[in-house]
Amino acid sequence: MKKTFEVHGRELEVLKGVDLDVEKGSIFGIIGFSGAGKSTLARCINRLESPDGGSVVVGGVDILKLNKRELLEQRKKIGMVFQTFNLFDSRTVYKNIAYPLEISGVSKSEIHKRVLETAEMVGLSDKLDAYPGGLSGGQKQRVGIARALVNKPDILISDEATSALDPQTTIQILDLLKEINKKSGITILMITHELEAIRYCCSQMAVLENGKFIEKGSVQSIFSNPTSRTGALFAKVLQEFQNISFSEGEGI
């Protein structure tokens, strides 16, 4: 798959022939530095951006071959969770979660049932009447996850979903994603620059650099024996992070 943008009259090739297979039911990590093409990749997978060529096969369906009506239907099978939450401040938690179902014309009774089920899944049953302005960052991201799941998708794309959260909340959200994966069997594609998130959740991963996958394999093998420069840099950062320790009474 390739993707080129036109910037100030010049072509900028952001994705340069990426090729990746993700096992159904897995939590697969894609890691890369800023500018590697991670967010463009996420948007191409559900065709928020249209790739220049190649194929994007989700559940046996190449979404690049779908017309507008077919694409809208197929997108229900692809949930997206964003770093910036993307919630409607004027809508309650209930209404935010319900939104994808409302625009799909689902009946009110079915919407009510699914919203309650999904809110319970993410631990928000007591917040359905609240507004985003009164929620913590972690609660807002739980709303975002619930909204992405309410259509019962086959794949969930997490695009830097924990980057705006503090470390403790990050662990809570990652634990939630692992629990959802275990209970529902949903495939989760975790796109991030956070090393600990990949190591905590994923068994397999790929390293994206300058619009190409330069390394693929198990998380353990890439972090312990990287074969690319970027993989080695990430492994070094992780090693240095693990080596940081503080004596009693010391702090920052």
Residue 115 in domain:
no
Q: Which residues, in sequence order, are bridge partners of residue 53?
A: 2
pLDDT at residue 252 in the model = 39
Q: Which residues contact 7 (CB under 8 A, 6 or more apart)?
A: none
Find out whether 17 and 10 touch, Cβ atoms under 8 Å: no
Find out whether 100 and 147 touch, Cβ atoms under 8 Å: yes
Residue 196 in domain:
yes
Q: In terms of residues, how long is the chain?
A: 252
Residue 193 in domain:
yes
Residue 195 in domain:
yes
pLDDT at residue 157 in the model = 95
> Could you tell me the CATH number of the domain that includes residue 182?
3.40.50.300
pLDDT at residue 235 in the model = 77
| Alpha-carbon gap, residue 78 to 42, rounded angstroms | 11
Residue 104 in domain:
no
Contacts of 118-123 with C-beta under 8 Å, sequence gap 24+, read: 118/146, 118/149, 118/150, 119/93, 119/94, 119/146, 121/146, 121/149, 121/180, 121/183, 122/146, 122/149, 122/176, 122/180, 123/176
| Alpha-carbon gap, residue 131 to 124, rounded angstroms | 12
Q: Which residues, in sequence order, are bridge partners of residue 217?
A: 205
pLDDT at residue 162 in the model = 92
The angle, 0 to 180 degrees and rounded to 10, between the axes of the packed helices 93-103 and 108-122 is: 130
Report the domain count for the chain: 1
Q: Which residues contact 97 (CB under 8 A, 6 or more apart)?
A: 115, 118, 119, 128, 143, 146, 147, 150
Range of the domain at 20: 1-53+155-243
pLDDT at residue 251 in the model = 42
pLDDT by residue, tens only, the chain of 252 residues? 899 998 888 999 999 989 999 999 999 999 988 889 998 999 999 889 999 988 888 878 899 999 989 998 888 899 999 888 899 999 999 999 999 999 999 999 999 999 999 999 999 999 999 999 999 999 999 999 999 999 999 999 999 999 889 999 999 999 999 999 999 999 999 999 888 899 999 999 999 999 999 999 999 999 888 888 888 887 777 676 566 444 444 443
Output the CA angle 149-151-56, nearest 5 degrees.
85
Residue 133 in domain:
no
pLDDT at residue 241 in the model = 59
Q: Which residues, in sequence order, are bridge partners of residue 13?
A: 4
Residue 218 in domain:
yes
Residue at 111: amino acid letter: I
pLDDT at residue 114 in the model = 97
- Looking at residue 25, what DSSP letter applies? T
Residue 66 in domain:
no
